[in-house]
Structure 1
Amino acid sequence: MKRNFLIAFVLMSINVFAQNIKFSDSISLVINEQNTIFVKAVFNKIDTLNLNFDTGTTELVLTNDVLKNKLKSKPKLYNTIYNLKIGDGNYKTKVYDAELSGHGTDGRFGWDLFKDKIVELNYDKNLMVVHSELPKNIERKNKFTKLKIEFFKDLFLVESKIKQNGVTNKDLFLFDSGYQRTVMLDNDLLQQEKFPTEKMEVINKVILKGAQGNEIPVITSNLKMLKIGKYKLNNVPVQQLTANKPLRDKNIHILGNEVLKRFNIFLDFQKNVVYMKPNSLFNVKYIDRKKNDI
């Protein structure tokens, strides 16, 4: 009896120690000309893939072409759990299909793989780092702005402000590293809040493709000011969504990766907080501005 108690105590101590191990897993992060960020990952222990880290989605999504023509694995969609190795970490996820993914990628994985962790996106060092706890002094460094995460269903949002001709609107924006452009503004929400869209200079009108290959008519206009936390971005070419909204039951604006890449970021999914500070890309020209300058 005494011996069994000792064994139980030792096992309990080992388990507590294991739970308190601190780690930081650094993974090479690629960002291409289209603002798609991706890492190498191994699916089901045999398939090496380039996967977009898409904070605007959940679990794992692979393109139909990859599912049919590239994988050695033959995954069952929607219900079966598979292993996805990213860096030194092994994550459990279901698999979904889509027609498209970010340029140069085989699919995308969502933020929810890291629900109990902190994810760092360091564009200066081209690193994605998964931490077991928030690095010390991040909250004390004045250069970081702190944003509270708000959840809508399985997606997360942060508060930001837009300003045009003296009118300022404050709203929650979907934090979407999978959206390759700057900001997608919801037209219904703009009208509801009487934002002066008619005074925004029109830069371009195009048709974009959604993840399922659906066509989305989009107007690109000049926004005088976007404010994220304490940081301001002036004269941002933003997209105005007129139809085929990404969320059917909510009018919502989107922060895309052409804006997000201008910050080094800590996504704290333990306390549900985002930390952001400007990096070396903060003042680079926007894609639509480059086209407009030619």
Structure 2
Amino acid sequence: MKYTLAFLLLTISYLQIMAQKKLPVVKANSSKAIILEEDTGLKTDWNIDPSVKPDVYTVTKISKGSRTVKIKTDIDSIRITVKQGEKKDFIILLKDKDSCLTRIESAVPKNFSTVRPAFHDSIRLGINEQNTMFVKTLLNKTDSLVLNFDTGSNNLSLTRETLKDKIKEQLKGRVNVLSIGNKKYDGFRIYQVELSGHGTDGRFGWDLFDGMVVELNYDKGIMVVHSELPEFVKKDKAYQPLDIIYFDQLFFVETTIKQGRKTLKDWFLFDTGYQRTVMLDGPLLKEQQFPADQMKIIKKVVMKGGQGNEIPVITANLESLSLGKYHLKNIPSQVLSESRPVKDKKMNILGNEILKRFNIFLDFQHNVIYLKPNKLFNDAYIEKQ
């Protein structure tokens, strides 16, 4: 029996080695590598660790098709392409002796459309004079919090003041549950932040609703979380569909801006947590040959950067901004003189002073946004009031 068990273990070990031999192999002399998502531009510093088997890198959420990742070591490289829900293994051979099993994977897409009974959970939605959108929530059945739904963030962030004065129970070492309306959400991380939207205790991100559909109806003053997209949305031709693409934990929609004879179509961060109209990255616009210098200046201010550095910000008149077939004119827009990239990505931002003018369906199942002008569409911009 003893010899049979030993033979069986040797056989399993041999089969594992043979299986690994069939995997692609990339060589490395240094434990430092770079993983680059070629279609998003997301770059991640990667530590090659032989003790972790497999060492897993999960790509940014895939909207459609597949995602190609390039893994570059100090002496070699390899490309791996994965589809939604797929995973692929390969070997990094470190210093010709350590075999590091590495996995590139795409998370299995979440989809609540098959949940029965279907849910359509309606929550009272508020918006204040500063364009902060908020809902009332309950954390761990004890702490009532007013939170901003910030699509430009993820997980749950609470201000230092909230954590100090409003949270009654220890948050670490437990499964935290956030109640919004009749539904409960868990599996998120909690971060401390210094600031949140005006009048709120913190903010929660779009990823709480991954695989669901979120309706923001400013006409009725409600936020509704759906298990699937209501049938009437696709039938109503007034709703403009816009595809979503993802970068790390952020999502973007295609936006067109125009100044003079120049028209620029690009992907803008969809950010209900940004209270103004749009934030335009000056250096990025210059690279794209967009004539931001032709925009009429409304005012100039100085912002403080994360390191305490001063960043001049100009508010200037943007001639036109379009989301699909809907066009907005003469938008007071912030133009940054210095880029504020996220993980090396320069970006322009769509804020809630624009987004509040539409009733919106955020379809995180099919990665599409539906927009329809609401009663706020023709309101004057706060910057001009």
Return the TM-score normalized by structure 2.
0.68
Aligned in 2, Cα 1:168/1:144: closer, same or farther, shift over 3 Å? Answer: same
Flag the 1:144–1:210 CA change in 2: closer, same or farther, 3 A: farther
Residue pairs, 1:179-198, within 5 angstroms: 179-198=274-293
Q: State whether structure 2 residue 383 is matched by structure 1 residue 281.
A: no
Alignment of structure 1 residues 1-294 onto 2, 5 Å: 19-76=115-172, 81-92=175-186, 93-208=188-303, 216-243=311-338, 245=340, 247-290=342-385
- Structure 1 residues 44 and 243 mapped into 2: Cα distance closer, same or farther (>3 Å)? farther
- 1:173 Cα deviation from its structure 2 partner: 0.3
For residues 68-95 of structure 1, the C-alpha deviation after alignment (integer angstroms, 9 at most, x for no partner) is 122112323xx86410000001001210
The residue type paired with residue 279 of structure 1 is N
The one-letter code sitting in structure 2 at the alignment partner of 1:192 is E
| Corresponding residue SS for 1:177 | coil
Q: Is the 8 A contact 2:339 2:346 kept in 1?
A: no
Residue pair 1:67, 1:74 contacting (<8 A) in 2 also: no
Structure 1 SS opposite 2:366? coil
User: How big is each residue's C-alpha offset from its partner over 1:130-169, in whole Å with a ceiling of 9 and x where there is no partner?
Assistant: 0011111211211110000000011100000000011000
Aligned equivalents of 2:256, 2:373: Cα separation in 1: 17
5+ residue gaps in structure 2? 1-113
1:80–1:95 Cα contact (<8 Å) kept: no
Q: Which residue of 2 aligns with 1:13?
A: none
SS in 1 for 2:279: strand
SS at match of 1:172: strand
How far, CA to CA, are the matches of 1:233 and 1:145 in structure 2? 14
Could you say what secondary structure the match of 2:177 adopts?
strand
Which has the higher relative contact order, 1 or 2, with Cα contacts under 8 A spaced 6 or more apart? 1
Tell me if the contact between 2:284 and 2:339 (Cα under 8 Å) persists in the aligned partners.
no
Aligned counterparts of 1:52 and 1:212: Cα–Cα separation in 2: 25
**Mapped contact 1:179–1:256 kept (Cα < 8 A):** yes
Give the match's secondary structure for 2:233. Answer: coil
Q: Distance in 2 between matches of 1:22 and 1:207?
A: 49
Aligned-partner Cα distance in 2 for 1:209–1:25:
40
Q: What per-residue deviation string (whole Å, max 9, x for no partner) do you get for residues 82-136 of structure 1?
A: 1000000100121001100000000000000000100000000110000011111
- Cα pair distance change 1:30/1:243, threshold 3 Å: same
Q: Which amino acid aligns with 2:121?
A: D
Q: Distance in 1 between matches of 2:285 and 2:246?
A: 21
Using a 3 Å threshold, how does the CA distance of structure 1 residues 215 and 274 change in structure 2: closer, same or farther? farther
Q: Specify whether residues 62 and 289 from structure 1 end up closer, same or farther in structure 2 by C-alpha distance, changes over 3 A only.
A: same
State the AA in 2 paired with 1:20: R
Displacement, 1:215?
A: 6.2
- Mapped to 2, the partners of 1:60 and 1:212 lie a distance apart of 24
Q: Which has the larger radius of gyration?
A: 2
SS of the aligned residue for 2:384 comes to helix
- Cα distance change of structure 1 residues 215 and 80 upon mapping to structure 2, 3 Å threshold: farther
Q: Does the CA-based 8 Å contact 2:281-2:339 persist in structure 1?
A: no
RMSD: 1.8
Give, as a single letter, the amino acid of the residue that structure 2 aligns with 1:166: R
Which deviates the most, 120-129 or 80-89? 80-89
Matched AA of 1:85: S
Change in 2 beyond 3 A, CA 1:62/1:272:
same
Decide whether the 8 Å contact of 2:214 with 2:225 is kept in 1: yes
Report the number of matched residues. Answer: 271
One-letter amino acid of the counterpart of residue 70, structure 1: K
Distance 1:242 1:73, change over 3 A: farther
* 1:105 alignment partner, SS class: coil
CA contact 1:80–1:94 (8 Å) conserved in 2? no
Maintained 8 Å contact 2:283/2:339? no
Whether the 8 Å CA contact 2:244–2:367 is kept in 1: the answer is: yes
CA contact (8 A) 2:277 2:331 kept: yes
CA positional deviation for 1:216: 4.8
CA contact (8 A) 1:56 1:178 kept: yes
What do residues 164-190 of structure 1 show as CA deviations (whole Å, max 9, x unaligned)?
Answer: 011000100000000000000111210
